[in-house]
């Protein structure tokens, strides 16, 4: 019998519990990932290699009370870190899309709001986990994306996709919500999405007409409105978004879902599942604290930082 997506995810959860059977193993892993050369105090910045991996501790240099979660996306959490790490593992393995309801069931959380907030925080961390730029030959385009078909809402999205020669397959991708398809927006997107001196395949009209004078080696005029590869990626994103969230994504949070979609695509270029999981865990430790109110009120779209 063919394994279902649920069966595959369940299998990865079993693997997680074999790697991290208890809270001590989780703390050891996160501590070593955050401070591989020894504890660095968030307050005095002093390095203390001899500090034993624990969740809460006092800096031996300045006496400041600190925590493994201080200054991270998990800042202030009262939940076991094993729950957070399981959520990270689950999202890194869930390439077909993740919902807050599924996370709520997985972690046995009483509150849907908590599950939704955790998942949005993990999506914020993805921008830190997946920062490698597209390079070499890259297709580029700007088009409309519809996150909620029934609401008729649309957003403009710049998309960049590596074109791996000679096989012609798609490599790393980058996507970002933009205010318009102007040259200014495009150049800002390129800074955060495409490595300098790459060769760009782009439409042969404004705002792409000045790219030859920019930091990129040359332009290959595709003679089309939007390169075919870009159309296919945007269409795949819409299908992925509607299949999982069914119109429940607002425009102000669209960038988070674009980042998640790109992360799962780009994760296929990593060596194995553990590498994908470790990259996301690193992003969670590097991302800055964000409250529920900030997530709800603030648009995550627009510029990537």
The CB density around residue 74, as the number of other CB atoms within 10 Å, is: 24
Would you state the pLDDT for residue 212? 65
Spatial CA neighbour of 299 closest among 257, 260, 237: 257
The CATH number of 137-271 is 3.30.420.10
**For residues 140 and 159, is the Cβ–Cβ distance under 8 A?**
yes
Domain ranges in the chain are 137-271
> Which two three-digit tokens encode residue 279?
């990259």
The neighbouring-strand residues paired with 148 are 153
**Taking all residues of the chain, what is their mean pLDDT, rounded to a whole number?**
86
Q: What is the pLDDT of residues 245-302, one digit of tens each?
A: 776 788 888 999 999 999 999 998 998 889 999 999 999 999 999 988 898 876 544 3
For the cut 50, the answer to whether the pLDDT of residue 84 exceeds it is yes
Tell me, letter by letter, the H, E, C secondary structure of 116-140: HHHHHHHHHHHHHHCCCCECCEEEE
- In whole angstroms, what is the distance from residue 128 CA to residue 279 CA? 9
Q: What is the pLDDT of residues 98-156, one digit of tens each?
A: 889 999 999 999 999 999 999 999 999 999 999 999 999 999 999 898 887 666 788 99
């Amino acid at each position: 019998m063919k394994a279902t997506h649920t069966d595959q995810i369940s299998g990865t959860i079993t693997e997680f519990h074999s790697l991290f059977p208890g809270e001590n193993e989780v703390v050891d892993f996160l501590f070593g990932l955050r401070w591989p050369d020894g504890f660095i105090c968030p307050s005095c910045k002093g390095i203390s290699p001899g500090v034993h991996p624990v969740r809460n501790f006092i800096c031996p240099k300045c006496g400041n009370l600190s925590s493994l979660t201080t200054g991270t996306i998990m800042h202030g959490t009262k939940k076991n870190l094993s729950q957070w790490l399981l959520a990270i593992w689950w999202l890194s393995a869930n390439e077909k899309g993740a919902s807050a309801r599924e996370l709520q069931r997985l972690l046995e959380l009483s509150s849907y709001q908590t599950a939704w907030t955790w998942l949005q925080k993990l999506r914020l961390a993805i921008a830190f986990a997946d920062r490698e730029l597209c390079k070499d030959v890259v297709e580029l385009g700007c088009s409309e994306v519809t996150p909620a078909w029934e609401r008729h809402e649309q957003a403009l999205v710049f998309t960049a996709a590596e074109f791996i020669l000679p096989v012609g397959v798609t490599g790393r991708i980058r996507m970002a919500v933009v205010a318009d398809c102007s040259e200014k927006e495009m150049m800002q997107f390129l800074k955060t999405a495409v490595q300098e001196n790459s060769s760009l395949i782009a439409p042969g009209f404004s705002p792409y007409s000045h790219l030859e004078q920019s930091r990129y080696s040359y332009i290959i005029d595709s003679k089309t409105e939007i390169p075919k590869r870009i159309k296919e990626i945007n269409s795949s994103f819409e299908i992925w978004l509607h299949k999982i969230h069914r119109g429940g994504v607002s425009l102000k949070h669209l960038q988070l879902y674009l980042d998640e979609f790109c992360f799962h695509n780009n994760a296929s270029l990593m060596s194995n599942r553990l590498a994908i999981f470790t990259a996301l865990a690193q992003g969670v430790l590097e991302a800055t604290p964000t409250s529920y109110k900030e997530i709800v009120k603030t648009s995550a779209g627009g510029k990537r930082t």
